[in-house]
Amino acid sequence: MKGENPNPSPRSGAAAELLCGVNAKALLDSVDAFLFDCDGVIWKGDKLIDGVSQTLDLLRSKGKKLVFVTNNSTKSRAQYANKFRSLGLSVTQDEIFSSSFAAAMYLKVNHFPPNKKAYVIGGEGILQELQLAGFTALGGPEDGEKRVQLKSSCFFEHDKNVGAVVVGLDPDINYYKLQYGTLCIRENPGCLFIATNCDSVGHMTDLQEWPGAGCMVGAICGSTGREPIVVGKPSTFMMEFLLQKFHMSPSRMCMVGDRLDTDILFGQNAGCKTLLVLSGVTTESILGDSSNSIQPDYYTSKVSDILKLLGE
Amino acid sequence: MKGENPNPSPRSGAAAELLCGVNAKALLDSVDAFLFDCDGVIWKGDKLIDGVSQTLDLLRSKGKKLVFVTNNSTKSRAQYANKFRSLGLSVTQDEIFSSSFAAAMYLKVNHFPPNKKAYVIGGEGILQELQLAGFTALGGPEDGEKRVQLKSSCFFEHDKNVGAVVVGLDPDINYYKLQYGTLCIRENPGCLFIATNCDSVGHMTDLQEWPGAGCMVGAICGSTGREPIVVGKPSTFMMEFLLQKFHMSPSRMCMVGDRLDTDILFGQNAGCKTLLVLSGVTTESILGDSSNSIQPDYYTSKVSDILKLLGE
């Protein structure tokens, strides 16, 4: 993967410290920006996690830059800004880095030819970001109800001008889309296979986990024998944009997330400080298990602990 | 994988010989049984490949035992016997070893508890074979039209008594089935993850290839982080049954198939002679490519070349 830091955070490997009054104050003093994952950190499904709004307000009042870095590709940045608004949070589109946006930016920086098209297995957010970046995208939700009949002499046509298949979370996954993406990758010379992310599961609803983009990406790996280019966390592809935009040193940033293998690894790969919150998929026993090799700098139960620990 | 031969065929690695009159005669004299793959060897989709019927008749007339070993799990052995009949071929259920049957036999020989159930992502054939073997199976085609809504407070229930998820080719794959299988594997302690096979694509129709079981298996690998137990080719699990049934030495058998990484590897893993036919997914240029390390003993364009070469 592109852009990984050859010098990971010196703390990686050492056991995580529980966040307390003293180290929370030191952390706040040592960084200028907080990068937040969203699902399991800011919200679960459509429910805001307790105390998030006040915590973000406090951090902004202390002059900290806030950035939201999400692997969930189903929404575009504009749709995410709406979601933040609907939950009572004031976040602008410029503060949001989604893996749908990252997929479009990957094509842009790699000079994807304007006469080529992208086929999407995933949500409306990927299509919107691709189109905003000036690309022709097909597939996505409009192929959700399409069915195929495996009958003799049935021939499945695909567009020979598709030069990239972009795969993200797709709750409307079907055999039609799988065949379309598979044919493009196997038969169109040079066709790229881009994964927004490879999360195995995620809190698509507040009550439980559901298969994530890793499921759809795994399906296309299985039918093509190819490995994807991953643009979401833990790949640091998005970090390059972030750094260009905000002119900040990664060592003055803290990545806050609920997943060890995406958020914390992403922060460490980029050279940021890292804070794990236990309000999402990772439990304290997973963190402490001998099979886990990813240790954040700090951990705490939820984002709003910062408020409490700083006595605000 | 179980049952692999520690002494692979001595010819593996040496370049394949084109079948000719002399070596065809020698091959026939050196084996008592021919094991045939079906898709791409006997038929393509629902079309019989030219000359197959006469070739099978000739081999039977020379006293050769014929066995059909297929990775396609959508049908049960009974359904395969019907397909052979409908194409004018006289083949009995006892001569058929399908990966649907292998999945049921895997549970049987591993003493799968009778109070546990199997959840199926795949076709009717898997359900039928599981039920014939005395197991309770759920899922499969009846879940093909089920949809899920990722709404707040929506909770997806799954059966805690599912002790195995069996995954095969499923043209009716959907998010409901993926969530069901994922929950069983992630949340039911000790739940097995069984793949009928991992073929990336197959000739589900005569005109082109479509995503195979490897696609659905890849999806579940992606959502669970688990690797499957594979019971179809190239795993030699089915060979153990075949040998028990027919009391034959593998060295007196010839595996005939169109795929290097399943059929030919299966034959070599089991210690059989191997014949590649070019009537399916493998071309002469794939066989000869420097990236291909799997060389059969012999290769020819199609099964009926045997007739011609023997001058019958």
| Angstrom distance (rounded) from CA B302 to CA B312 | 15
Q: Do B150 and A214 touch (CB under 8 A)?
A: no
| Residue whose C-alpha is closest to residue B29's, from B312, B310, B280 | B310
Cβ within 8 Å, pair B211-A205? no
Backbone phi and psi for residue B129, each to the nearest 5 degrees, phi listed first: -65, -40
At residue B5, φ and ψ (nearest 5 deg) are -75, 125
**Which 8-state DSSP code applies to residue A93?**
G
Tell me the DSSP string of B78-92.
HHHHHHHHHTT----
A69-100 per-position pLDDT tens digit: 999 999 999 999 999 999 999 999 999 999 99
**Candidate list A32, A39, A46, A199, residue with the active-site label:** A39
**pLDDT, mean over chain A:** 92
For residues B15-39, average pLDDT: 96
Question: Residue B10: is its pLDDT beyond 50?
Answer: no
Nearest residue to A235 (alpha-carbon basis) of A130, A96, A103: A103
> Residue B151 has what pLDDT?
83
Cβ proximity of A152 and B46 under 8 Å: yes
Tokens 């001998």 map to which residue? A290
- The CA distances from residue A52 to A83, A113, B96, B254, in Å, are 14, 42, 61, 67
Peptide bond before B8: cis, by omega within 30 degrees of 0? no
B36-76 residue pLDDT tens: 999 999 998 788 999 999 999 999 999 999 999 999 999 99
Is A2 assigned to a binding site?
no
The letter for the amino acid at A20 is C
Q: So what's the pLDDT on residue A6?
A: 43
Which is more confident, B132 or B242?
A: B132
Distance between A78 CA and the closest CA of chain B, angstroms: 20
pLDDT over 60 (residue A120)? yes
Q: Which CATH number does A17-71+233-309 carry? A: 3.40.50.1000
State pLDDT tens for residues A134-175. Answer: 999 999 999 999 999 888 778 999 999 999 999 999 999 999
Residue A39 in marked binding region: yes
Say how far apart CA A234 and CA A253 lie, in whole Å.
16
Facing A200 at nearest CB: one of B153, B211, B225: B225
Q: How confident is the model at residue B4 (pLDDT cuts 50, 70, 90)?
A: very low
Between A240 and A78, residue with greater pLDDT: A78
ipTM for this model: 0.90
Residue B116 has pLDDT above 50, yes or no: yes
Q: Residue B261, annotated ligand binder?
A: no
Does residue A263 have an active-site annotation?
no
Q: Is B154 in contact with A207 (Cβ distance < 8 A)? A: yes
Q: Which residues of B are less than 8 Å from A183 in CB distance? A: 208
pLDDT at A192: 98
For A100-230, give the CATH class. alpha beta
Q: What would the CATH number be for the domain defined by B111-230?
A: 3.40.50.1000
Q: What is the mean pLDDT of residues A276-299?
A: 95
pLDDT value for B13: 59
Average pLDDT (A98-124) is 96
Pick from B148, B212, B214: CB nearest A171: B148
Whether residue A201 and residue B207 make contact (CB cut-off 8 A), yes or no, is no
Domains A17-71+233-309 and A100-230 share a fold: yes
Told to judge if A305 belongs to the known catalytic residues of this protein, a careful annotator would answer: no
Domain range list for chain B: 17-71+233-309, 111-230
Distance CA A183, CA A165 (A): 10
Task: Check residue A13 and give its pLDDT.
Answer: 59
Q: Is A289 annotated as a binding residue?
A: no
Look at residue B312 and tell me whether its pLDDT is greater than 80: no
For the cut 60, the answer to whether the pLDDT of residue A11 exceeds it is no
Q: Check: CB of residue B275 under 8 Å from CB of residue B27.
A: yes
Distance in angstroms (rounded) separating the CA atoms of residues B312 and B55: 9
Q: What is the pLDDT of residues A43-59, one digit of tens each?
A: 988 899 999 999 999 99
Query: B211, A182: Cβ pair inside 8 Å?
Result: yes
